[in-house]
Amino acid sequence: MKTLRMLVSIAALSLSALAGSATAQSLAEKEAWQLQTDYSDRYVKSTKGVCKAQVDLVYDRPSWMKVQDKWGDGSPNGRCQDVFNALESICRGSADGQKAVASKIKSVRCSYGGKTSGHKLSLSGGTINYSVEIDRANVEEEIAKTLKQQL
Q: How far apart are CA 35 and CA 41, in angstroms?
A: 10
The alpha-carbon radius of gyration of the chain (Å, integer) is 19
* 103 and 92 Cβ atoms separated by less than 8 Å: no
Q: What is the mean pLDDT of the chain?
A: 82
Q: What is the Cα–Cα distance from 132 to 38, expressed in whole angstroms?
A: 20
Average pLDDT over residues 61-68: 89
- Find the DSSP H helices in the chain: 2-23, 27-51, 61-65, 76-93, 95-104, 140-150
Per the model's pLDDT, the better-predicted residue between 71 and 87 turns out to be 87
What is the per-residue pLDDT for 2? 43
What is the percent of the chain with per-residue pLDDT over 90, rounded to a whole number?
54
The reported pLDDT for the residue numbered 89 is: 96
In 3D, which of 83, 79, 77 has the Cα closest to residue 101?
A: 83
**Prediction pTM value:** 0.79
Structure confidence at residue 7 (pLDDT): 32
| pLDDT at residue 47 tops 90 | yes
What is the number of residues in the chain?
151
- Domain ranges in the chain are 26-150
